[in-house]
Structure 1
């Protein structure tokens, strides 16, 4: 970093040039003016170099400050993301403790390391596998106990989960408080189409949908989705019902329920 005396040099040179111009304008003849202009040329050149140097010093200092602020911003965002991940992990761990206290012995935490799409099939990839006791068919739920899907491929240290929203999935569910049996089919993008809902069935927007015990290996009350559209279908036996999938595939952590 350049020292402040550079600014004093610029001020002094400016005064010198002003003195030359004043003298040339008022006290000397034409020949004197020419001599003064020649004498002032080096001073003007020096002033120009000093101004350029000062501009570089100010510009360089500002650029360094901007870069420093950008580094601090990046570090802060990384710290926020890290703390958010820890908070999510803690929520999952607390839910596992609650599940185990309810008799669910095979509850394993897992980190979501990827989201995959193959045509209309949707998957998440986990960082746990057979080395952790996970096998094909094991259920995957979120911290809110919403059913995400089931393991359909597994290695020693990874597992691929086919989501309920995949087009090939059909899951037996129960609608609303009356527990009306129906079938939830995957419609991609966190959406489910609910089939086999009779026209006369009392189904409202906002009703919760749970998985049947046949779909969960005997586990009751596992959430699947929430009704967001109910529409009669003319000349059809069943209503048109669509629901939002309550499992978030973008979450950092999930729970794998091992087969009983």
Structure 2
């Protein structure tokens, strides 16, 4: 039975299995999560991984990276694995630089889709699509996506804190390459993903256990592996670096994280 304290469960939602988006929502003090999601988050926090600081650092990176890309004149964004709405959102940041910037939010979680359609995709040039980012053909072939974005012009692909939930057997390099091949010159790839670089083995093990309890893959990658994801892109300075070291702003938390993401942005020439 669902507790009276739980949010209303939309029809067709499986609350016996955690959602990465809802775990992230809980870590950012959101309300769109269920007991199963909180159990994963609590186990992550028990591992002393500092998941809340990590979630906040990833959100801060999103803001810095989207602003940087918009300042290069890019006015179209494809946010893959967008997660539940938080502020500032991708379109809020982009439109602060390029008024009228167009954004497509993509996620496969029906709770995410319902909330994004209600709260984010409420104006011209803002849409939400339910699709699995691991199927580039379905995403890029969506009529909704094609109606919103002109792939003859530069588009920024955002893959933020999501690729570590894609196992090697699913060919993450191939997935990224298929999106890259659809992009016009001047387009950007922006990504952040969990790294084994400098991570404490005990915390890595605890994090993997927290997700594997629910059959959720978790794959940290090395610097060399993340660099390969940028094949076909020219990296912007400072290259692929720890997330908090990528063009830090005045408000960026510079206290070292016990575990972090590698992040970068690259342009297709």
TM-score (norm 1): 0.25
Structure with bigger gyration radius = 1
TM-score, normalisation: structure 2: 0.25
